[in-house]
């Protein structure tokens, strides 16, 4: 029986016929599943964030096997730095990916909140759990606390967040030790979230926007990469490889959208070339914001309201063309099963982030009745939506292994994810303390995790669509907040439009 997934021929941008055939197979070949319950997947994707919560859990906590944790964060320095999210399967609070997660959750609510139905309230709560923490870490002017916990000692242990006895050292950037990347992303997160709360809680929205303005000024005035200031603490975990320039443009773009102030428009125009808006346009994630900047800014251009940003729209078009199957692009490839694949760890972070941009841009194109020209071919809003949907469907089970990569969704999903809290007995099941090395036997066990981290999307299969479902293979089996954050908006849209 022929495989029911897109057949990808050898790439060659010079072959128009090949481009057409690959695009046709990608968009029109039948999939494994008869349909997906996107509403259920959305509910579960948001439930995942409750499993990643740090601090004192609220009475309405739904993932019951989790308990309070890290209740003294910041106390050694006389600060309250409790709350926020653990980034992945460890127990560290990394500020850079947490801020990016917050920005993408907020963008999802802004663009697709109307499609979230009863899950909208949970999406807003997920944003606020992050922003309450970001307000704490930016409460001292000219300082941003960017990490809580020593990553080396934490990664040397396998213990529940409720049992942590490793160092909860705090790391900061300030005027003498700059970090324009993490500060710029934090400003973007606060600004984006201020839009989420503009009508829901005007006073909180103003607090977020005011803080975003202040943090951005600090980021811009004291320029530098935070990994240069804090290399031993943040590398190799969340090193800034791409540079801090993109986060300054990203922060300014969100501040412009949130505040509608002319000064941010002028900042973007003045710094477009200086800060490299046209560089690395095919990348988007916690370390590289270029594609996101171009898509975000392009909305106004497509609406005919900001011709002075025309170059950003051209960059966005080029980015979209680079994702089209059959275009020869060394940065973006497809697995035999049709999954976007980029070299490096945790491939699903690329799949969800790039798919989110595809969907957001498709909406902007629809509202402006525009199409994209990719050489002698063209891509419509419908083309982009179908490509994004193909990626989401792959995650939910339309793939060669017929496996959902979201824990708890479908009949077959990862059972041995690389996640401390999920893989160790819960506090209810095992009330006594489990020490640093005592958890190793659970890490090495072939048994499924005792606690379902419902909604977690793991790093995913390799370039050949193979998946080991084994804790030691962290690149494939570890979930992260920044995988799930873009997926929230995608699931909301396809829940409202399941028959595209």
Can you state the angle between helices 16-28 and 381-396, rounded to 10 degrees? 50
Active site residue 367: no
Of 157, 277, 264, the closest CA to residue 220 belongs to 264
- C-alpha to C-alpha distance for 419 and 412, rounded to whole angstroms: 18
Contact (Cβ atoms closer than 8 angstroms) between residue 452 and residue 339: no
Q: Quick one: three-class SS letters along the chain?
A: CCCCCCCCCCCCCCCHHHHHHHHHHHHHCCCCCCCCCHHHHHHHHHHHHHHCECECCCCCCCCCCCCCECCCCCHHHCCCCCCCECCCCCCCEEHHHHHHHHHHHHHHHHHHHHHCHHHHHHHHHHHHHHHHHHHHHCCCCCEEEEEECCHHHHHCCCCCHHHCCCCCCEEEEECCCCCHHHHHHHHHHHHHHHHHCCCCCHHHHHHHHHHHHHHHHHHHHCCCCHHHHCHHHHCCCCCCCCCCHHHHHHHHHHHHHHHCCHHHHHHHHHHCCCCCCCCCCCCCCCCCCHHHHHHHHHHHHHCCCCHHHHHHHHHHHHHHHHHCCCCCCCCCEECCCCCEECCCCCCHHHHHHHHHHHHHHHHHHHHHCCCEEECCEEECHHHHHHHHHHHHHHHHCCCCCCCCCECCCCCCCCCCCCCHHHHCCCCCCCCCCCCCCCCHHHHHCCCCCCCCCCCCECCCCCCCCCCCCCCCCHHHHCCCHHHHHHHHHHHHHHHHCCCC
Active site residue 28: no
Tokens of 448: 């499924």
- C-alpha to C-alpha distance for 194 and 213, rounded to whole angstroms: 11
Q: What is the b/e burial string over 232-242, where b = at least 16 CB atoms within 10 angstroms of the residue's CB? A: ebbeebbbbeb
Residue of 290, 350, 418, 419 marked catalytic: 418
Active site residue 290: no
Of 170, 150, 15, 35, the closest CA to residue 91 belongs to 150
User: What residues act catalytically?
Assistant: 418, 469, 478
């Amino acid at each position: 029986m022929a495989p029911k997934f897109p057949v990808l021929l050898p790439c060659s941008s010079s072959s128009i016929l090949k481009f057409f055939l690959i695009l046709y197979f990608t968009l029109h070949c039948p999939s494994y599943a008869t349909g997906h319950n996107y509403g259920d997947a959305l509910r579960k994707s948001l439930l995942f964030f409750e499993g990643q919560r740090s601090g004192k859990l609220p009475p309405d906590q739904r993932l019951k096997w989790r308990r309070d944790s890290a209740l003294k964060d910041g106390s050694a320095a006389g600060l309250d730095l409790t709350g926020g999210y653990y980034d992945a399967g460890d127990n560290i609070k990394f500020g850079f990916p947490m801020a990016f997660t917050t920005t993408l959750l907020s963008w999802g609510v802004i663009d697709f909140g109307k499609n979230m139905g009863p899950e909208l309230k949970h999406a807003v709560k997920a944003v606020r759990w992050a922003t309450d923490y970001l307000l704490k870490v930016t409460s001292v002017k000219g300082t941003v606390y960017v990490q809580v916990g020593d990553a080396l000692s934490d990664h040397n242990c396998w213990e529940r967040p409720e049992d942590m006895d490793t160092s909860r050292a705090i790391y900061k950037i300030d005027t003498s030790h700059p970090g324009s990347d993490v500060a710029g992303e934090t400003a973007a997160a606060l600004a984006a979230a201020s839009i989420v709360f503009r009508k829901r809680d005007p006073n909180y929205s103003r607090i977020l926007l005011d803080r975003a303005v202040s943090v951005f000024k600090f980021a811009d005035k004291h320029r530098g990469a935070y990994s240069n200031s804090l290399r031993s603490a943040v590398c190799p975990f969340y090193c800034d490889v791409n540079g801090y320039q993109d986060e300054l443009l990203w922060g300014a773009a969100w501040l412009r959208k949130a505040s509608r102030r002319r000064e941010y428009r002028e900042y973007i125009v003045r710094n477009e070339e200086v800060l490299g808006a046209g560089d690395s346009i095919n990348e988007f994630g916690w370390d590289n914001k270029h594609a996101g900047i171009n898509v975000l800014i392009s909305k106004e251009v497509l609406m005919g309201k900001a011709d002075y940003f025309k170059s950003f729209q051209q960059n966005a078009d080029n980015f979209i063309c680079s994702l089209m199957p059959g275009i020869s692009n060394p940065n973006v490839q497809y697995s035999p099963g049709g999954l976007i694949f980029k070299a490096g760890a945790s491939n699903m972070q690329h799949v969800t982030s790039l798919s989110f941009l595809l969907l957001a841009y498709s909406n902007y194109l629809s509202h402006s009745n525009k199409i994209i020209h990719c050489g002698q071919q063209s891509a419509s809003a419908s083309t982009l939506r179908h490509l994004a949907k193909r990626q989401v469907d792959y995650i939910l089970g339309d793939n060669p292994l017929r496996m959902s990569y979201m824990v708890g969704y479908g009949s077959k999903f990862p059972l041995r994810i690389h996640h401390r809290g999920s893989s160790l007995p819960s506090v209810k099941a095992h009330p006594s303390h489990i020490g640093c090395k005592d958890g190793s036997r659970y890490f090495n066990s072939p048994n499924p995790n005792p606690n379902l981290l419902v909604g977690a999307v793991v790093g995913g299969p390799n370039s050949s669509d193979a998946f080991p479902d084994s804790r030691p293979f962290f690149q494939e089996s570890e979930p992260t907040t920044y995988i799930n954050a873009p997926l929230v908006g995608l699931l909301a849209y396809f829940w409202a439009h399941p028959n595209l």
